[in-house]
């Protein structure tokens, strides 16, 4: 697999007055497990003519609490992120994750609906928040992908992005512009991979069967790389592919679009790093 980075400078520097201000919500999983996704998002947003900031106080959108029935903590986390992301200071908030973007867009306004101080701010944040790839295509109308990747890839539609945000065509539109890339569709592209947040550790047997079926479908395409828009799903898929000894690699779609595919794929050994660090 050959890859080469795209030029990193934005199309027009300094940014024109109309350049939208975007706050990047990097998401907790990208922050901890896959900083490359955060840097890929930065690069893509800049290529699309945005002025990007990374709000200091951001941590996690709160899905672990929300989907476990811990509404009090989910609310508290929503409050903390409404304040940290401070949507009033920017034009958009963008996250490289369908499920985290959906948590903010669809669930924060519900969680904070009866909070007199924050209901309006939560609504405001929700309206400004987008998932990265759909933001690039739908909001920015951006298709100037300069990345190259000589590889056959397949794409997994992650559930929240697909069904809560309608993300289906946007990643395909951008991937079709990546030079050298051949997209092969999955047999059951809209079937859940079995991640489901805490579900995957509460019900490992079921989750294992689901991700096993997904891995079979991935293998069925003959592609050497699987892409997706949510790191939770990708950690699940990559972890299972590695467990069964598969050579198929997994990456976040933003890494490919930004041309940041020189480093190891998710869960792969890094030949340049000895140990520890």
Partner 1 sequence: MHVTSRQFKDNARGAVADANLRQSLATMKTGFRAKRGVAVAALPEFEALREAGKAMKDHTLAHLDHYLERFEEKVTASGGHVHWAPDADAACRTVLDICRRHNARLVTKGKSMVAEEIELNAFLQKNGIEPVETDLGEYIIQLRHELPSHIIAPAIHVRKDQVADSFRDTHTQFPADRPLEEPRDLLDEARTVLRDRFLTADVGITGANMLIAETGSTVIVTNEGNGDLTQLLPRVHIVVTSIDKVVPTLEDSSIVLRLLARSATGQPMSTYTTFSTGPRRPEDPDGPEHFHVVLLDNGRSRMLGTQVQDVLRCIRCAACINHCPIYGAVGGHAYGSVYPGPIGSVLTPGLASLEEAANLPNASTLCGRCEAVCPMKIPLPRMLRHWREEEFARHLVPARARWGLRLWAFTARRPALYRFGTGLAARALRLLGGRRGRLARLPLAGGWTRVRDLPVPEPGGTFMARYKRRETH
Shortest Cβ distance from residue 211 to partner 1 (Å)?
A: 6
151 and 221 Cβ atoms separated by less than 8 Å:
no
Of 251, 250, 186, 191, the C-alpha closest to 220 is 186
Stretch that binds partner 1, among 15-23, 114-122, 131-139, 203-211 (CB under 8 A): 203-211
Stretch that binds partner 1, among 111-119, 122-130, 176-184, 262-270 (CB under 8 A): 262-270
Cα-trace Rg, the chain: 18
Stretch that binds partner 1, among 53-61, 86-94, 121-129, 146-154 (CB under 8 A): 53-61
C-beta of 70 vs 138, nearer to partner 1: 70
Residues 205-234 that bind partner 1 (CB under 8 A): 205-213
194-198's contacts with Cβ under 8 Å and 24+ in sequence apart are: 194/236, 195/230, 195/232, 195/233, 195/235, 195/236, 196/67, 197/63, 197/64, 197/67, 197/68, 197/232, 198/64, 198/67, 198/68
Q: Of residues 77, 97, 129, 170, which one binds partner 1 by CB under 8 A?
A: 77
Q: Of residues 54, 113, 120, 179, which one binds partner 1 by CB under 8 A?
A: 54
Residues 83-142 that bind partner 1 (CB under 8 A): 84
The two three-digit tokens of residue 165, written as one number:
């945000």
Residue 35 interacts with partner 1 (CB under 8 A): yes or no? yes
Residues 2-31 that bind partner 1 (CB under 8 A): 26, 28, 30-31
Distance CA 109, CA 162 (A): 20
Shortest Cβ distance from residue 187 to partner 1 (Å)?
A: 10
Residue 256 interacts with partner 1 (CB under 8 A): yes or no? no
Q: Which residues contact residue 79 at a Cβ distance below 8 angstroms, ignoring those fewer than 6 apart? A: 112, 115, 118
Of 51, 39, 91, the C-alpha closest to 260 is 39
Residues 144-183 that bind partner 1 (CB under 8 A): 159-160, 163-164
């Amino acid at each position: 697999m050959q890859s080469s980075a795209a030029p990193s400078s934005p199309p027009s520097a300094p940014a024109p007055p109309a350049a939208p201000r975007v706050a990047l919500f990097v998401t907790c999983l990208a922050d901890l497990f896959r900083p490359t996704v955060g840097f890929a998002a930065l690069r893509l947003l800049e290529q699309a003519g945005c002025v990007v900031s990374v709000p200091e106080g951001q941590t996690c959108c709160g899905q672990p609490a929300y989907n476990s029935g811990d509404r009090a903590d989910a609310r508290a986390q929503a409050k903390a992120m409404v304040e940290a992301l401070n949507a009033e200071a920017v034009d958009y908030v963008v996250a490289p994750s369908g499920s985290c973007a959906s948590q903010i867009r669809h669930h924060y306004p519900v969680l904070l609906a009866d909070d007199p101080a924050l209901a309006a701010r939560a609504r405001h944040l929700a309206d400004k928040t987008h998932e990265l790839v759909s933001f690039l295509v739908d909001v920015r109308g951006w298709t100037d992908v300069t990345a190259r990747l000589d590889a056959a890839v397949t794409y997994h539609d992650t559930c929240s992005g697909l069904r809560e945000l309608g993300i289906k065509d946007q990643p395909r539109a951008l991937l079709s512009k990546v030079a050298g890339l051949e997209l092969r569709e999955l047999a059951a592209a809209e079937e859940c991979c079995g991640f489901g947040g805490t579900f995957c550790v509460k019900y490992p047997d079921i989750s294992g069967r689901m991700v096993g079926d997904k891995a079979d479908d991935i293998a069925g395409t003959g592609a050497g790389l699987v892409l997706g828009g949510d790191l939770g799903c990708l950690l699940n898929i990559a972890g299972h592919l590695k467990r069964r000894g598969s050579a198929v690699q997994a990456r976040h779609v933003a890494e490919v679009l930004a041309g940041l595919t020189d480093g190891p794929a998710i869960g792969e050994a890094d030949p340049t790093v000895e140990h520890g660090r």
